[in-house]
Structure 1
Amino acid sequence: MFRNQYDNDVTVWSPQGRIHQIEYAMEAVKQGSATVGLKSKTHAVLVALKRAQSELAAHQKKILYVDNHIGISIAGLTADARLLCNFMRQECLDSRFVFDRPLPVSRLVSLIGSKTQIPTQRYGRRPYGVGLLIAGYDDMGPHIFQTCPSANYFDCKAMSIGARSQSARTYLERHMTEFTDCNLNELVKHGLRALRETLPAEQDLTTKNVSIGIVGKDMDFTIYDDDDVAPFLEGLEERPQRKPAPPTDEPAEKAEEPMEH
């Protein structure tokens, strides 16, 4: 089918039952720098990779404070993330003012889902081009939630979103059973190791390109940047070197075959 007939507006369905504008917004999340979220019995941790537009620019913030018990990390359009973050802050303030209690994390995520669903169903608006990992702690314990431009949200044990995030998810799946009983330092190390998997072989984590957010029992949401990250990185073992691919003894005519995409 001709895709461009059905992707001009968010209210138009394709014959395959797809809304292409929402799928394009999901692709924007995959272009953002990677971020990882994971939790234990007592804490929830966010670890994010910061980017700089150029050597002349400072690194952009990837982890944002929402309330004493909630913080978010972002992948996608930063401007959209700021708008959603301001909405979340207002909802948390309203809960404290009206009910004199922190807003439950699951309730806030539900409100975000409702807000992001509106532009997926109205003509003349576009979906939010950002994915969020929401870390929080309430009466139910620590939480990690993922939200999508499609207005779906998921309660996760651990998750990674952004560019090359599949490598981080593979690490998280491999070590998921260890997270529950981890202490805080070991949980952060797992997050850093997972984030490191998203980097090219020639790069490594530094105090300049990593940001960490932690919330837990008897601990307000705290963001660690720059030199504050150094103690966590010092305890991290060196990245194992990837072995180069062994040379192949293929005949010369094989090299002329077209590569698969």
Structure 2
Amino acid sequence: MFRNQYDTDVTTWSPAGRLFQVEYAMEAVKQGSAAIGLRSKTHVVLASVNKSNSDLSSHQRKIFKIDDHIGVAIAGLTADGRVLSRYLRSECINHSFTYEAPLPVGRLVVQLADKAQVCTQRSWKRPYGVGLLVAGLDESGAHLYYNCPSGNYFEYQAFAIGSRSQAAKTYLERKFENFPAASREDLIKDALFAIKETLQGEKLTSSICTVAVLGVGEPFCILDQKTIHEYIEALELKEEEAGDQGATMQEDPSSEAAPMEI
């Protein structure tokens, strides 16, 4: 049977039990620019690639401030991301006005997941073609969630979405045990290194990436390019020093083990 018989609308199931429109939306997330999130006990860092499609155009924003204690990074259709960002801001404002308290991050993520899931059960709608990394801080600590177009959501210590995100995931999986006790600066450096992994050899500059930080006593803010440039220079200097030390150890004959006497 032809696949396109079952992707005319989102409520048509294939014989294999699949909803192709939902899978198309998830594929749109994989094709989007990479976005990365990682958290410690006190801070959450979001980073994204924001390269422009043309030398004549500007880039599109990939990180949005929702409230002082919540921010999101998106991968996929930016237009859908803006719509969901406005929805999240509205929910935070309404909750703050009604209860005079910030909206808990977990509750907001559930509301977002419910909104996304409704689009998978209405034939006149389509799923949102965007994945969101939601960073938040509330009374229970720092949080990082991933919201999927299917309506699923998961909490992570660190995660990456978007194009070539597997390279960043591999790096985060090697380092994630150090993240809970990591400082703000270390988290930013790890986020930049993970972004660099997704570029596959392309030089990392402050003009093609965005970094945002949220922490205890520090409201959500997007770092300016000058600050990001300083972190990138420190990262490159550290890599050069590590390379020089490795080369010195290989050249130094005293570092080699002495032969055993028989």
**TM-score above 0.5:** yes
- Residue type at the aligned position of 2:54: S
Q: Which residue of 2 aligns with 1:58?
A: 58
Query: Is 1:237 aligned to 2:236, yes or no?
Result: yes
Q: Which residue of 2 aligns with 1:207?
A: 206
Segment drifting more, 227-236 vs 212-221: 227-236
State the distance in 2 between where 1:226 and 1:76 align.
Answer: 23
Displacement of 1:226: 2.3
Pairs within 5 Å for 1:125-144: 125-144=125-144
Structure 1 or 2: more helix by fraction: 2
Q: Deviations over 1:45-103 (max 9, x none)?
A: 00111121211111221110100000000100011000000000000001110000000
- Residue type at the aligned position of 2:189: K
SS in 2 for 1:13: coil
Segment drifting more, 3-12 vs 158-167: 3-12
Q: How much is the aligned-residue C-alpha RMSD, in angstroms?
A: 1.2
State the distance in 2 between where 1:205 and 1:76 align.
Answer: 21
Question: Given the two structures, how large is their TM-score scaled by the length of structure 2?
Answer: 0.89
Q: Which residue of 2 aligns with 1:219?
A: 218
| Structure 2: tracts of 5 or more residues without a match | 241-262
SS in 1 for 2:205: coil
Say whether the 8 Å CA contact 2:34–2:161 is kept in structure 1: yes
Pairs within 5 Å for 1:153-192: 153-192=153-192
Say whether the 8 Å CA contact 2:51–2:209 is kept in structure 1: no
Say whether the 8 Å CA contact 1:28–1:129 is kept in structure 2: yes
Percent identity reads 50
Query: Is 1:4 aligned to 2:4, yes or no?
Result: yes
SS in 1 for 2:206: coil
Query: Is 1:15 aligned to 2:15, yes or no?
Result: yes
| Structure 1: tracts of 5 or more residues without a match | 241-261
Q: Deviations over 1:125-182 (max 9, x none)?
A: 1100000001111101111000111011101110000000011001111111011111
State the distance in 1 between where 2:94 and 2:230 align.
Answer: 36
State the distance in 1 between where 2:226 and 2:30 align.
Answer: 28
Query: Is 1:119 aligned to 2:119, yes or no?
Result: yes
Question: Given the two structures, how large is their TM-score scaled by the length of structure 1?
Answer: 0.89
Query: Is 1:91 aligned to 2:98, yes or no?
Result: no
Q: Deviations over 1:214-254 (max 9, x none)?
A: 101011001114223122212113668xxxxxxxxxxxxxx
- Residue type at the aligned position of 1:118: V
State the distance in 2 between where 1:73 and 1:232 align.
Answer: 20
State the distance in 2 between where 1:140 and 1:93 align.
Answer: 20
State the distance in 1 between where 2:48 and 2:231 align.
Answer: 13
